[in-house]
Chain A
Amino acid sequence: MLARVKRKWTYLVIAALLAFLILIPFDWSLGQYTVLMIFIGIHTMVTVGMCLLLGYTGQVSLGQAAFYGMGAYFSAVLSKTYSVNPWLAMLIAAIATGAFAYIIGYPIFRLRGNYLAMATLGLGMIIYILFNQLAQFTGGPEGMSGIPYLSIGGFVFDSSFKRYFLVWFFCLAVLLISQNIVRSRTGRALRAIHGSEAAAESIGINVAQFKVKIFVLSAVYASLAGSLFVHHLTFISPQPFGFLASLMIVVMAVIGGLASIWGAIFGAATIHILSDELLLRFGEWDVIIYGLILMLVMIFMPEGLFVRLRDIFGRWRLRYAQRGAEP
């Protein structure tokens, strides 16, 4: 009975979320937040990768913005400078970024804990410097503009309204795929690695390979998000792909609840609403507030704000269901 009630509620929540997402960009609804929602969608994609890597598999990456930036730059340079079809550029970007993550994955995942954090931090910095220094391709610190929009046939995604649906189509696909992975043999293997690497190895799980595979998947998510990002802005510079961006991805994942796929939306939304609507008046000081949020969440609700709220809602729902069952 309880399982059925639970499923009914899950469908209800999903339907409500979908309806809400579809209605947002219309002018008579929350149209003024369309651009904000595009960024939330893009960052949700990156955050989901971080949840899989950090929350499920227990492997930290402080250089995730490197993959986000690589996707963005591959897309920008290929589609603008070399006039490659933007969709093809996006695909090439995802494959190239994934291949890069695969190649550095094996040596980097010989490291654990703090050492892994340091190595990925270094990786992020190196890539960020390359974005700045390879100016003949990337345009250097000034960046480059005039990147084409994505289009299907004659339909060009030339307005925020149109791009909103494009971004959230990708975002929901990534969320769904990730949820399926988490609830599978692969998902159990990832959680087993988090639980105990020695035990995981002893029951036949190829720990090294799974770590690299999930790293590659998270890099591909970040790359796709980066491609969508440049085809939305039609402008690119290195600034959104620095260390602060890598840190924000971790903060979003932590707020969303590390071991929760749908929490990624919540984490990305919280940070974007905070930074775009509230923290602007603090200027450069906003970094301190992000740090404070990270500290407070880790101390008081290490399972994440989203998961805590979900559990409270779950208990309330259960009580409601039980009361309803009484004669």
Chain B
Amino acid sequence: MSESILETKSLSKAFGGLVALDKVDLAIEAGKITAIIGPNGAGKTTLFNVITGVYPASDGEILFQGTPLKDTAPHRRAALGIARTFQNVLLFGNMTVLENIMTGQHPRSRYGFLGAALRLPRAHREEETISLNAMKYLNMVGLGTHAQQNALSLPLGQQKLLAIARTLATEPRLLLLDEPGAGLNKLEKQELSDLIRRIRETGISVILVEHDMPLVMGLAEWVIVLDSGQKIAEGTAAQIQKDQRVITAYLGEEVE
């Protein structure tokens, strides 16, 4: 068996009496595109929030590259190499497109208040690297001509690409994409698929939560199905499409 970038062991999360994640065991293979699907309320976004540390887990364990993430704060997890996007994009509307990506370089640069206040040579050197890297990620998502525009002046499709570029700038090992295809047209979805494949080729493992089945089936090398907080199936796209439990979860019992 190949190496896992992320493992969860009996991972649970309850909000009061509501069990959002119920003893979920996952092993996400490094360097692959994994999709997590499931009906609304299955716990997909909660899973992302627990992995990134937004919520503490109620029970169970998360291992990232073999190391347990116990009470690691969200910003520390980003520094370790876990990056994510959000369903509602959450760009920095008070910045330009390029500045959004430059901000993503935060965990890969070091100088602080003093370096900034006195414009120390180290700060200057780091700023140059930050700009260069930001331009690289900007061009990678094809937004090179929009660098100086306000981030929110972009159409939704490009905003989502920018959000991905911002996470790439954190130089992650694992990228969690929360419904990257939602609200995009066919052409934009095609661009998105191409981008996700290119990201994988750079060695970054990708997990995506997505409702768009053609997109998922075209991209994912491994599919995990959640329903009511439990993992009910996993396998290749072809296996999942035939799985009776998955069909039941999505469509209900067959009456015929």
Residues of A bordering B, CB below 8 Å: 177, 180-181, 183-189, 191-192, 194-196, 198-207, 213, 217, 259
Do the beta carbons of B116 and A188 come within 8 Å of each other? no
Report the nearest A residue to B116, measured CB to CB.
A184
Interface positions, chain B 115-130, Cβ under 8 Å from A, are 115-119, 123, 126-127, 130
Q: How many angstroms from the CA of A31 to the CA of B29 in the assembled complex?
A: 75
A176 to B, closest residue via Cβ: B117
Does B220 have its Cβ within 8 Å of any Cβ on chain A?
Answer: no
Q: A201 to B200, alpha carbons, bound, how many Å?
A: 24
- Contacts A185-B111, A185-B130, A205-B106; is A195 near B95 (CB within 8 Å)? yes
10 contacts between A and B (CB under 8 A): A181-B113, A185-B123, A191-B94, A192-B103, A195-B91, A195-B94, A195-B95, A201-B78, A203-B83, A203-B107
Contacts of B119 in A (CB 8 A): 180
Which one of A184, A185, A202, A259 has the highest number of Cβ atoms from chain B below 10 Å of its Cβ?
Answer: A202
Pick the 9 closest A-B CB pairs, nearest first: A204-B107, A195-B92, A184-B116, A204-B78, A199-B90, A196-B90, A177-B117, A188-B103, A201-B74
Assembled-state Cα–Cα distance A192/B163 (Å) = 13
Q: In the bound complex, do residue B113 and residue A186 qualify as a contact, i.e. CB atoms below 8 Å apart?
A: yes
Docked-complex contact A259 and B170, CB < 8 angstroms: no
Looking at the complex, which one of B52, B103, B109, B113 makes contact with A213 (CB distance below 8 Å)? B113
Enumerate chain A residues within 8 angstroms of B130, measured Cβ to Cβ: 185
Query: In whole angstroms, how far apart are the Cα atoms of A206 and B117 in the complex?
Result: 19
| Contact across chains for A202 and B74 when beta carbons are under 8 A apart | yes
Chain A residues with CB under 8 A of B170: 203-204
Of B91, B115, B117, B130, which is in contact with the most chain A CB atoms at under 10 Å from its CB? Answer: B117
- Enumerate chain A residues within 8 angstroms of B73, measured Cβ to Cβ: 206
Bound form: Cα–Cα A185–B120 in Å: 13
Whether, in the assembled complex, B68 has its beta carbon less than 8 Å from a beta carbon of chain A, the answer is no
Q: Tell me which residues across on chain A come within 8 A of B118, comparing CB atoms.
A: 177, 180
How far apart are the CA atoms of A245 and B214 in the complex, in Å?
61
B116 touches A199 (CB 8 A): no
B residues at A contact (CB < 8 Å): 52, 54, 73-76, 78-79, 83-84, 86, 90-95, 99, 102-107, 109, 111-113, 115-119, 123, 126-127, 130, 166-167, 169-170
Cβ contacts under 8 Å, B123 to chain A: 184-185
Q: How close is B12's CB to chain A, nearest CB, in angstroms?
A: 23
Contact of A198 among B54, B79, B103, B167 (CB under 8 A): B54
Known: A177-B117, A180-B116, A206-B75. A188 touches B106 (CB 8 A): yes
* B111–chain A nearest beta-carbon distance, Å: 6
Contact A185 B127 (CB under 8 A): yes
Q: Closest residue to B115 on the A side, CB-wise? A: A184
The answer to whether A202 and B52 touch (CB under 8 A), given A180-B117, A196-B92, is yes
CB neighbours of A204 from chain B (8 A): 75-76, 78-79, 106-107, 170
Looking at A187, A188, A191, A204, the one whose CB has the most chain B CB atoms below 10 A away is: A204
Contacts A181-B117, A203-B83 given; indicate if A189 touches B106 (C-beta within 8 A). Answer: yes
Residue numbers in A under 8 Å from B84 (CB-CB): 202
In the bound complex, do residue A203 and residue B78 qualify as a contact, i.e. CB atoms below 8 Å apart? yes
Q: With a CB–CB cut-off of 8 A, which chain A residues contact B115?
A: 184
Complex: chain B residue closest to A217, CB-CB: B113
Chain B residues with Cβ under 8 A from A195's Cβ?
A: 90-95
Q: In the assembly, what is the distance between CA of A201 and CA of B86, in Å? A: 12
Q: Which residue of A lies closest to B111 (CB)?
A: A185
How far is the CB of A292 from the nearest CB of chain B, in Å? Answer: 27
Residues of the B chain whose Cβ atoms lie less than 8 Å from the Cβ of A180 = 116-119
CB pair B75–A205 under 8 Å, yes or no, is yes
Q: A188-B103, A196-B90 are in contact. List 20 more A-B contacts (CB 8 A).
A: A177-B117, A177-B118, A183-B116, A185-B105, A185-B111, A185-B112, A186-B116, A189-B103, A192-B95, A194-B94, A195-B95, A196-B92, A199-B91, A199-B92, A202-B52, A202-B167, A203-B78, A204-B75, A204-B106, A259-B94
Question: Closest Cβ of chain A: how far from B65's Cβ, in Å?
Answer: 17
